[in-house]
Amino acid sequence: MLFRIVLITCALLLAVSGCAGAPGGECHGVQWYRLGLNDGMADAKGELERYATSCGADFGRAQYEEGFRDGLARRPKPAAKP
């Protein structure tokens, strides 16, 4: 009986973890402006295409690009050399 419970529990955990890793599953409900802002502040230029590819129609390109531009503008400027 205990073996059955353990087996069923493992099967359920595998099923749930498989759904979490499904393509596009991480794209639902994303705040694209905020993500773009953070990527812009980190100067993470390659992320846009990754999000567009993995999220497809769920990708908020306009909001992401606006956030990215604002993030780049907020990056600290290098100190001028004397």
Instruction: Determine contact, residues 58/23, Cβ cutoff 8 Å.
Output: no
Q: Residues of the chain with pLDDT > 70: what percent?
A: 70
Instruction: Determine contact, residues 17/48, Cβ cutoff 8 Å.
Output: no
According to DSSP H, which parts of 1-82 are helical? Answer: 2-20, 32-41, 47-55, 61-74
| pLDDT classification of 8: cutoffs 50, 70, 90 | low
- Report field, pTM of the whole predicted structure over 0.95: no
What integer is the mean pLDDT of 14-18?
Answer: 38
| pLDDT classification of 24: cutoffs 50, 70, 90 | low
Averaged confidence pLDDT in the chain: 78
| pLDDT classification of 1: cutoffs 50, 70, 90 | low
